[in-house]
Structure 1
Amino acid sequence: MKNKLIYLSVAIAFVAFTSCKNEVSAQSDSNETKGYEGKEITAEFDAEIDKLVAQMTLEEKIGMLHGNSMFTSGGVKRLGIPELKMADGPLGVREEISRDNWSPAGLTNDFATYYPAAGALAATWNTEMAYTFGNSVGQELRARDKDMLLSPAINIVRTPLGGRTYEYLTEDPFLNKKMAVPMVVGLQDNDVMACVKHFAANNQETNRDFVDVQIDERTLREIYLPAFESAVKEGKAYSIMGAYNKFRGEYLCENDYMLNKVLRDEWGFKGIVVSDWAAVHSTVKSLNNGLDIEMGTPKKFNEFFLADKLIAAAKAGEVSEAEIDKHVKRILRSLFQVKAMGGKDRVKGSIATEAHYQDAYKIAAEAVVLLKNENNALPLKLEDVKSIAVIGNNATKKNALGGFGAGVKTKREVTPLDGLKNRLPSSIKINYAEGYLERYDEKNKGNLGNITSNGPVTIDKLDPAKLKEAIDAAKNSDVAIIFAGSNRDYETESSDRSSLKLPFGQEELIKKVLEVNPKTIVVMVAGAPFDIEEIKNKTNALVWSWFNGSEGGNALADVLLGKINPSGKLPWTMPKKLMDSPAHATNSFPGDRTVNYAEGILVGYRWFDTKKVEPLYPFGYGLSYTTFAFDNAKTDKKSYTVDETITVSLTVKNTGKVDGKEVVQLYASKSDSKITRAAQELKGFQKVLVKTGNSETVTIKIPVKELAYYNVETKKWTVEPGNYTLKLGSSSRDIKKEVNVIVK
C-alpha cells in the first residue's frame, strides 16, 4: 500500500524432458496446514443478489467498482448495500485515515496491537503462530468495523535488498504457502476478507510502477505462484490485490493471463480482485481482464478509470452492462460472505487487549534467531553481574510507525531497553548509551520508488561524543549488549536498499566496543539480511530479532536471560556478499524498464546449494540453548505411486540441559533427474518441543504429488519416476539424516 508520497513514484518456454512421467493435475500439499481449510464463498444469496442488481442504476453499479474514499469503495445506501471498508494491515490494523487524503483522521479510538512483521512470523516456522497472527488481527479489524484487511503480503524474497523483505515471508515457496494459508484462514474466521497481495511477481520496489517482469513459465509456477494458489484453493481467500508492475508486457491489474486464466479459470477463485493504490492504467481492458475494484491515491474519485470513464464506456457500448454486473455480483457475494449484508450475527471483535498483546509476545518469542553462541555467552548469567551497558539507537527505536508502508498506532511498544528494565533485577545497573545517530543526507535522499541507489542515503560517520559515551559505558560495565541493525525508516516500501552495509557507522561502533569489552553481545534488529560477517567473526554471541511487535522488547529480554529458549530459524539465506545472491550473481536486478529473472527456479537457498556457494548463514538456520540429536529416520515403505503419501518419521532427542523447540526440516533431492532441478527443495517441516533428556517422534507426510515439477510442454504438474533422497536436518546446510524412496 502506498503512503502519502506515492503519487511521486513514476507512474521462452522452458523445454523439459517429458517421456516416461506421471502427470498430476495439480500440486497438492503436505500435512502442516491440515486443519486450516477456509470457508468457500457460497451461492447462498445469489437470488437476493440478482434482485439487488436488477434494481440498480448503471451509475450505482459502477460506484461499487472504485474507491469513494481512501479506504472504501462505494455502496448503494437506498438498497442497503454498505461501502466496502478496508484497512491496511501488515503489522496490525492501520490507524484511521481521512476520507480524501493520507492525513490521519485524528481519532482516539483507533489504537491497535502492533504485531511482529511477517518476516518474524516466518522465522517461527510454526503454522499455529500463523493462525494466531491472522485470527488476532482479524478480531482487531472487526472491532474497527472493517470488512477487508489489505494483507498478507506473500511475495517471494528474491533479493536481500528488497524494501519490503520485512513485510514478506520468505524466499521459499513451500514455507510461504504453509504460513500464508493459516494466516488467511485465521483472519477470515472473523467475518472479514483477507486481501492477499501483491499478485504476482512483485519482488522489488525499484521501478515497481512500470517495470516489466519476465519469468519463464516453469519458474512462475514453481516459485512465484504456489503461495497464492494455496491461499486461494485451501485458504479460500476472499480477495486478491493486483500488483503495480507489468508481467510479460501487461500491467498486472489488467493482465488477462494472470487474473482470468490462472486465478479464476484454473484455480477457481470466486472473490474480488482489488487494485493496489493507483495501479490501474485503463478502463475497458482492466474490467474485461479481471479487475473488480480500483483503489487509488488522491485525485477526484470520479476521475478513476473505473468511475466516470467506465460510465462513458458503457454508454458508448464499449463494455456491456452484463460485464459490469459480473463484477458487482462478486463484490456483493463477498459482502454477504463476511456478513456485512444478510442480517446474520457478525463477529464483534476486540482490539488492543491484553490477550492480543500476548499473541504478539508469543510470536515474537518464537521468532528470535540465535546466530552464534560461543563459550555459552548466552543466556546471560547474572550471578556476578552488577552492571550492563546497553548500547545503540535500536535499544530505544520504535518501529510500529515509520517508513512509507502501513504502520500501526499503538499504545504499547516495548523497546529492547524497556524489556531489559522490565526483566533485570533492580540490583543491576543499566548504563545506556545511544552510540550511533540515525541520520540521513537530506540533500541526496533521491526519489522514492525511482532506482535502488535513490533509497534513503545515510550519514555513516559516528558522532565522537556518542562514541565516547558508548565506549565509557562498555568499559565500566560487566557485560555490554549492542542493539544494532536497521529500522522501518531505512527498510521501507517504495525503495530498495543500495547495499547490505550496516547504516549509521554501526560496524565501527561494534568493533570499538568489542575492543574494550569482549563480553559484548550483539543483537541485530532488522527485517532483511545485512553484511555482518566481520561482526560475526569478532563477537561470541549474535542474536537476530525483527520488527517484533508491541511486546518485542520483553520477548527479546526473555531470550537473552534464558526464560525463553530461542527457536527461530532464518526464513531466507544470509549471503556473505551481495553478488552471491542469485538475482545479483546473474546481474538481473533491478533491470531498467524490463527485468528478466535469469536465475529461474534457483531462488534463495536453491541457488546457494546447487551452485555450492557458501552463505554467511543458510536458510532455516538457528541455534538453541540446548542440543538435539536426530535418529531412527525411516519411511513407512520404500516405494510409492503418484497418488500415495510418503510418511517420514524420526526421533528428536534433547541432549542438552534445558527444554527447547527444534524445527525438523525435510528437503527432497533427485540426483539423476532428466530435468534441471535445484540440489534440494523444502517439502516438509515440523516444530517440536522436546524436554531435556527426552525424545519425541516427529512425523512428516509428503504427498508424492508434492515432488512434481511443472511440465511446460504438457502444462501439467508432473512427477518424474525414480529414486528420491529425503534429507532431514535443522537447516538447508545441516542435514543429519537421509532416507531414499522410489516413485513408480
Structure 2
Amino acid sequence: MNNKVLLTAIISAMVMITSCKEEGKATSIATTNDSNKEITYKGTPISMDFESKIDSLIMEMTLEEKIGMLHGNTMFANKSVERLGIPELTMADGPLGVREEISRTSWAPAGWDNDFATYFPAGGGLAATWNPKLSYVFGNAVGAEARARDKDVLLSPAINIIRTPLGGRTYEYFTEDPFLNKKITVPFVVGVQENDVAACVKHYAANNQETHRDFVDVQIDERTLREIYLPAFKAAVEEAEAYSIMGAYNKFRGDYLCENPYMLDSILRKEWGFKGIVISDWAAVHTTKASLESGTDIEMGTPKPFNEFFFADKLIEAVKNGEVSEDEIDKHVRRILRLMFTLKTVDGKGQKEGSSSTEAHFKDAYDIAAESVVLLKNENNLLPINTSNISSIAVIGNNAIKKNALGGFGAGVKTKIEVTPLEGLQNRLPESVKINFAEGYKEAYKRDEKAKFGDITLNGPVTVNELDENLVNEAITAAKNSDLTIVFAGSNRDYETEASDRANLDLPYGQEELIHQLLEVNPNTIVVFIAGAPFDIKAVSDKSKAVIWTWFNGSEGGNALADVLLGNINPSGKLPWTMPVKLEDSPAHATNSFPGDDTVTYEEGILVGYRWFDTKNIEPLYPFGYGDSYTSFELGDLSINKSEFGEDETIDIKVAVKNTGDWDGKEVVQAYISKPNTSIERATNELKGFTKVEVDQGSTAMAYISIPVKELAFYNTDTKNWEVEKGTYIIKIGNSSRNLTMETSINIL
C-alpha cells in the first residue's frame, strides 16, 4: 500500500469514527440495522404540557404586552415581558453558520469580540454530499452554536427549489429535486432543534427568484405546487416537527405569502398540522388584520421605528376599534409561548448550553466539504496529483485567495478560520513542491454603472471582464515554469448574492479567456470551479483534462479541497442540479417564463431541472446526480423484496456495489422511477431513493434503498388527494439521472 492509499485509509477511518459518534447523537430519533441502510429522522413536537401556565400568563398580560410579542422590538428579537419573566425570543441568520451580532436597531455590526462562529459549507455543498447523515451533523453543530449565543430561533435552512441557474441564492439552497430536497432538509431541522433551538424553515413558499421578489405574483398550478415546491416544507413539518416557518416576500396567486390564508392556514396548519410559529421575512408584512388572521405570528422587519410595524401600534388600534379580536391576539401569543416553553427559554432550566467555534465543529465543516467536492472530468488520470513526479505547481486565480464567509447581500459568518484553496495547498503539499502563485484576474466591478436585468446582474455590481495584461503575463509565466497548473475560477459570494439574480451564465472577470491561455502554455492544467450555481463552462470543460466543481465550502474548505486534489480524499460529491450546455436549455428559460414582471407563471409545470432535460431529450453538459471518482464502481445483483405491492407497502431494493479500481471510495446509488402507459403527465424519470455507500478497493458492499409505495403518488387536482396510479412501474438504478445501468419492473395493485 503506497503512502497516499495509507493516508486515505487513515482519513477514512477518522471520518467513520466521527460519523459513528454523530450517529450516536441521533439514536433517540434514528433507527437502522445496517450501516448502509437509511436512517429515519424524526423530530420532537412542540410541547403541549404547559397550557395552564400559558393561560395564566396571558390572563396577566396587558394588550400592549401581548402585541409587543408579535413584532420585532430589535432587529432580531421581539419584545420581552420582564415583569412576568418572559424574555425576548431571539433570532439569528444561519444558512452558513450563526451570523455575527448586529446592533439592536440597525444592520451595523455590534462590534462584539465573542461572536465568532464556524463557517459551514453553503447549502449547495451540503446537498452535493448526497448524505443525510452529514445534514444532521451540520444542523446539530450549527444548532449548538446558536444555543451558545443564546439564540432561540435559527433562520435556516433555506430550502426553496432551484428553478433557474441564474438564481442569486442558488448557492444557499439545496437542489432542483423535491425528493433530495426533503431528504437533506429533515435531518438538518432535527439536528438544529435537538439543541433547544427552533429551526425557521424558509422561504415559504415559491420564492424561487430574487428578481422582483418583493412583489412578484407567482402562478403555479396545484399539482406542480404539491409535487415540486412543497414536499420539503411538508416533510419539515410532518417529519422533522419544525418549530417555525418563515413567510416569504413574494405573492402567490394574488396574495402576499404573509397574508395568504390558503398557504398559511389551509395547507400549513390544517393539512399538515403545523403547531409552531410563522415569522415573516424581514419587511414582508403588508397589512395588519389580513396578515395576522391568515396565520403570521411575528412580524420582523427592517430598521424603522418598531412601533410603526403593522403588528405594533396599528394592531393595538385595530383591537381597540374592534377590527381584530383580543382572542385572535391571544391565539398568536399562545403559539409563541408554547414554543418558548418547548425551548425552555422562559425559566432556562435544563436548556442545552451549546458550543461554538470548537475543533469538533471545524471537523464537521471539513467532513461536509470533503464529501461535497464534485469531480467532473479526469482525463489521463491527471488527478489526483502525484507529488513525487513534480517539483512545482502554478496556482492561478483570485479564487485561490478569496474568502467567502462574509460578502454579498445577506447573512455571512464572522469566523476565526477560513482556509483558502492556496492555504490548503500550502498546508498539504510537501516542502519539495514549490508553489508559484499568480492572481491572474481581479475581482473588479464598475460600480458607477446602473444595473439592468438582461445584460448585467440585476441590482448588483457590474463586473469588469477585461483582463489586466500584467496579471495575465504573471500567470502565463508561472504556468510555463511549473510542472502542473491549477487555476481556481468560478464565482464568489459578492457576485452570487441575495437580492440579485445573475443576468447570464458567463464566467465573470474575463476568466474564460485566461483559462484558455493557460491551457495553451501548460496542457497539464487542472481547472477548479468555486461557485454555488451553474456557469457556462462548456468550452473550458471541452479543452481541459481535469475539472473539479466545489462550493463556498466553509472554514475548512481549502484543506478539504487540497486533500481531494492530492488524493487524501477520494471525491464523492454529486451535482444537486443540472449543468446546462446553455441557459436556453433550462426549463424556466426554454419556456420564457423567467423572471416575469409583476407576475411569473411557471410554464414548465412539473418538469423542473433534470425532469425537463430527460423528458425533452435535451443533453446537459453534466447531469443531475453526476460526479466521478478516482476509483471505478460496478453496480450489479439488483434485487427487490417482491414484484407486486399494495399502497401501504415498501419497496426494498438491494444493489451490489463493487469497487473495481485502486482507491477506497464512496458511491451514491440512485433509484429513479418511471411509469409506462401513464394516464397523466409524468417526467421520464423521478428520483425516489438513494444511498451513499463506502466501498474499499477490490471489495463489494450492499446498497439498500427503501421506497414507500406512497412516494410514487401524484397529486390529483380533481379529488385534491395524493393517488398512486395502479399498474407497472420501472425502477432504474444508476449513479446519475443520465447513467441508469440497471432496471426492473414492479406492479402496484
TM-score by length of 1: 0.95
Residue 467 of structure 2, aligned match among 451, 462, 466: 462
1:35 Cα offset (Å): 3.2
1:656 maps to: 661
Mapped pair 1:396 → 2:401: yes
The answer as to whether partners of 1:181 and 1:230 remain within 8 angstroms in 2 is yes
Please give the per-residue CA displacement for 1:27-48, whole angstroms capped at 9, x wherever unaligned: xxx9976431000112100110
Distance 1:715 1:112 in 2: 45
Partner of 1:329: 334
Counting only pairs closer than 5 Å after superposition, residues 492-531 of structure 1 correspond to structure 2 as 492-531=497-536
User: What is the match of residue 57 of structure 1?
Assistant: 62
Whole-Å separation in 2 of the counterparts to 1:658 and 1:305: 60
Distance 1:687 1:456 in 2: 40
CA distance in 2, matches of 1:178, 1:540: 34
Q: Shift of the alpha carbon at 1:152?
A: 0.2
Q: Paired residue for 2:609?
A: 604
Render the CA deviation track for 1:252-273: whole Å, top value 9, x for unaligned: 0000000000000000000000
Q: Aligned partners of 1:409 and 1:33: how far apart in 2?
A: 35
Whether 2:428 is the aligned partner of 1:428: answer no
Is the CA contact (8 Å cut-off) linking 2:454 and 2:503 kept in structure 1? no
Match of 1:363 in 2: 368
List structure 1 runs of 4+ shifted beyond 6 angstroms. Answer: 30-33, 447-451
Match of 1:487 among 469, 488, 492: 492
Superposed CA offset, 1:142-165 (max 9, x none)? 110110000000000000000000
Question: Contact 1:643/1:704 (CA < 8 Å) preserved in 2?
Answer: yes
1:705 — aligned with what? 710
User: What is the CA–CA distance in structure 1 between the aligned matches of 2:455 and 2:461, rounded to whole Å?
Assistant: 12
- How far apart, CA to CA, are the structure 2 residues paired with 1:451 and 1:53? 53
Q: What is residue 19 of structure 1 aligned with on the other side?
A: none
Match of 2:10 in 1: none
Q: Deviations over 1:265-303 (max 9, x none)?
A: 000000000000000100000000000000000110000
Work out the CA distance in 1 between the residues paired with 2:730 and 2:677: 11
Does residue 269 of structure 2 align to residue 279 of structure 1?
no
CA distance in 2, matches of 1:426, 1:608: 47
Aligned partner of 1:204 among 202, 209, 228? 209
**In structure 2, C-alpha distance between the alignment counterparts of 1:729 and 1:418, rounded to whole Å:** 36
What residue in structure 2 maps to residue 565 of structure 1? 570
Query: Alignment partner of 1:152: what SS?
Result: coil
Q: Could you say what secondary structure the match of 1:522 adopts?
A: strand
Distance 1:433 1:450 in 2: 30
Deviations 1:159-206 (A, max 9, x none): 000000000000000000000000000000000000000000000000
Q: In the alignment, residue 280 of structure 2 is paired with which amino acid?
A: S
Q: Is the 8 A contact 2:277 2:336 kept in 1?
A: yes
Distance 2:605 2:461 in 1: 30
Q: 1:234 aligned to 223, 233, 239, which one?
A: 239
Distance of aligned partners of 1:292 and 1:511 in 2 relative to their CA distance in 1, 3 Å threshold: same
2:118 to 113, 129, 132: 113
Equivalent pair of 1:669/1:680 in contact (CA under 8 Å): yes
Determine if contact 2:645/2:709 at 8 Å carries over to the other structure: yes
Q: What amino acid does structure 2 have at the position aligned with 1:566? A: P
Q: Which of 411, 414, 417 lines up with 2:416 in the alignment?
A: 411
Measured after TM superposition, the shift of residue 454 of structure 1 is 4.2
- AA in 2 matched with 1:694: S
1:32–1:684 contact (8 Å) kept in structure 2: no
Match status 1:732 vs 2:737: yes
Quote the residue 2:303 is aligned against.
298
Contact 1:193/1:237 (CA < 8 Å) preserved in 2?
yes
Match of 2:447 among 442, 457, 460: 442
Contact 2:38-2:704 within 8 A present in 1 as well: no
DSSP-derived class of the 1:717 partner: strand
Q: CA deviation at 1:649?
A: 0.8
Amino acid at match of 1:652: V
Q: Which residue of 2 aligns with 1:18?
A: none
Matches within 5 A, 1:528-539: 528-539=533-544
Could you list the runs of 5+ residues in structure 1 that have no partner in the other structure? 1-29
Relative distance call for 1:288 and 1:370 in structure 2 (3 A) is same
- The answer as to whether partners of 1:448 and 1:494 remain within 8 angstroms in 2 is no
Change in CA separation of 1:150 and 1:575 when aligned onto 2, cut-off 3 Å: same
Structure 1 partner of 2:75? 70
Separation in structure 2 between the aligned mates of residue 556 and residue 78 of structure 1, nearest angstrom = 53
Q: Distance in 1 between matches of 2:340 and 2:634?
A: 51
Identify the residue that residue 160 of structure 1 maps to in structure 2: 165
Which consecutive unaligned segments of at least 5 residues does structure 2 have?
A: 1-31
Residues 532 and 352 from structure 1, CA distance in 2 versus in 1: closer, same or farther, beyond 3 angstroms? same
Cα distance change on mapping 1:447 and 1:41 into 2, 3 Å: farther
CA distance in 2, matches of 1:343, 1:383: 57
Measured in 2, the distance between the counterparts of 1:479 and 1:568 equals: 24
Which structure would you say has the larger RCO, counting Cα contacts within 8 Å and 6 or more residues apart? Answer: 1
CA distance in 2, matches of 1:340, 1:447: 47
What TM-score do you get using the length of structure 2 for normalisation? 0.94
Question: Relative to structure 1, is the Cα distance of residues 150 and 343 closer, same or farther in structure 2, using a 3 angstrom cutoff?
Answer: closer
> Displacement, 1:452?
5.7
Quickly say closer, same or farther: Cα 1:591–1:399, change in 2 above 3 A.
same
Measured at CA, do residues 177 and 626 of structure 1 come closer, stay the same or move farther in structure 2, by a change above 3 Å? same
* Deviation (angstroms), 1:446: 2.2
Please give the alpha-carbon distance, in whole angstroms, between the structure 2 residues aligned to 1:422 and 1:733: 37
Deviates most, 436-445 or 370-379: 436-445
1:188-199 matches, cutoff 5 A: 188-199=193-204
2: CA distance between counterparts of 1:443 and 1:398? 24
Aligned residues of 2:397 and 2:489 also touching (Cα < 8 A): yes
CA shift for structure 1 position 383: 1.5
CA deviations on 1:656-684 (whole Å, 9 max, x unpaired) are 01100000000000021010000010000
Question: Secondary structure, in 3 states, of the residue corresponding to 1:735?
Answer: strand
Provide the residue aligned with 2:594 in structure 1: 589
State the Cα deviation string for residues 605-645 of structure 1 (Å, max 9, x = none). 00000000000000000000000001111211111111111
Query: What is the distance in 2 between the residues matched to 1:730 and 1:702?
Result: 17
- Match of 1:619, SS state, is coil
CA distance, structure 2, for counterparts of residue 610 and residue 295 of structure 1: 42
Distance in 1, matches of 2:526 and 2:298, equals 50
1:456: Cα distance to partner? 2.8
1:648-727 superposed matches below 5 A: 648-727=653-732
Shift of 1:741: 0.2
8 Å CA contact retained: 2:671, 2:690: yes
The residue correspondences of 1:109-148 to structure 2 (distance < 5 A) are: 109-148=114-153
**SS in structure 1 of the partner of residue 618 of structure 2:** coil
Aligned partners of 1:449, 1:418: CA distance in 2, in Å?
Answer: 37
Structure 1 letter corresponding to 2:423: D
The aligned counterpart of 1:551 is 556
SS state at 2:226 partner: helix
Question: Secondary structure in 2 aligned to 1:223?
Answer: helix
2:619 paired residue among 607, 614, 618 = 614
For residues 566 and 112 of structure 1, the distance between their equivalents in structure 2, rounded to whole angstroms, comes to 27
Change (3 A) 1:542 1:147: same
CA deviations over 1:415-448 (Å, ceiling 9, x no partner): 0000000000111110000000101111224289
Which residue is equivalent to 2:14?
none
Cα distance in 2 for residues equivalent to 1:444 and 1:734: 45
C-alpha deviation, 1:699, in angstroms? 1.3
Q: Which of 199, 214, 221 is the equivalent residue of 2:219?
A: 214
Distance 1:404 1:630 in 2: 44
Q: Distance in 2 between matches of 1:444 and 1:656?
A: 53
Aligned residues of 1:448 and 1:455 also touching (Cα < 8 A): no
Q: State the identity as a percent.
A: 69
- Could you say which residue in structure 2 is the equivalent of 1:346? 351
Residues 451, 85 of structure 1: alpha-carbon distance in 2 compared, 3 angstrom cutoff: farther
What is the distance in 2 between the residues matched to 1:248 and 1:74?
Answer: 33
Give the counterpart letter for 1:415 in structure 2. Answer: T
Aligned length: 715
